Amino acid sequence: MNGNVLLTNALSFRYTRNLVDSGNGKFNLMILCWGEGHGSSIHDHTDSHCFMKILQGNLKETLFEWPEKKGNGEMVKKSERVLRENQCAYINDSIGLHRVENISHTESAVSLHLYSPPFDSCNTFDQRTGHKHKVKMTFYSKFGERTLCATAVPQENN
């Protein structure tokens, strides 16, 4: 699928999640389209495996430690890297939390994501305090068709 088609069709205020295949309920395969400067919150992966491949452009991934139970301080960065075209990454909750961002101000980016088992909610974290908040995740499009209610519930992350 050409990510450019998804990117040029509409000016979205943030990155879009576009479902490609729901694999008999065993996994979700989706394409994320990131405009210049778009980034996700820090989030977890609800006990699922998460694979990511860069199809176009570059994405920066910053890994964070889980905050302390009663944590009320700045979250701890573990590492960061820039993933280039065709590079792959993997994460699950035992590895940690991450934020993914397109830090380019000139190029958009497209990534392919595989989650198994599929999940539609996760936690987002405030970097300054470690405070977490559960959010529902929505799709901008499914199987090539624009979803109608995508703007009603805030999209949160990948």
Partner 1 sequence: AVRSPRPEAWGRAAASRGRRAARRLVLSPRRLAGPLPAGLAQWFPALEELDVSGTGLAELGAELLALPRLRTLLAKNNRLGGPGSLPKGLAQAPLGRSLRVLNLSGNRFAEVPPALLGLRGLQSLSLGGNRLHGIPPDIQELRSLEFLYLGGNFITSIPPELANLPSLSYLVLCDNKIQSIPPQLAQLHSLRSLSLHNNLLTYLPREILNLVHLEELSLRGNPLVVRFVRDLTYNPPSLQELAGRTIKTRNVPYAPSDLPENLVRYLSLASNCPNPKCGGVYFDSCVRQIKFVDFCGKYRLPLMHYLCSPECSSPCSSASQSSTSQSESDSEDEASVAARRMQKVLLG
Q: Which amino acid is at 122?
A: C
Is 45 assigned a ligand-binding role in the annotation?
yes
29, HSE (Cβ side, Cα atoms, 13 Å): 10
Within 42-61, the residues that bind partner 1 by CB under 8 A are 42
Query: Toward partner 1, which CB reaches closer, 81 or 128?
Result: 128
For 11, the 3-state DSSP assignment is coil
Alpha-carbon gap, residue 48 to 62, rounded angstroms: 19
Residue 136 interacts with partner 1 (CB under 8 A): yes or no: no
Report residue 124: phi and psi, to 5°: -110, 155
Within 14-33, the residues that bind partner 1 by CB under 8 A are 14
List 18, 41, 108, 111, residue binding partner 1 (CB under 8 A): 41
List 18, 124, 141, 158, residue binding partner 1 (CB under 8 A): 124
Residue pair 45/100 in contact by the 8 Å Cβ criterion: no
Degrees, nearest 5: CA angle 145-148-150: 100
List 20, 22, 29, 39, residue binding partner 1 (CB under 8 A): 39
**Residue ranges of the binding site:** 43, 45, 98
Which residues of the chain form contacts with partner 1 (CB under 8 A)?
Answer: 11, 13-14, 36-37, 39-42, 99, 103-106, 124-129, 131, 133, 151, 154
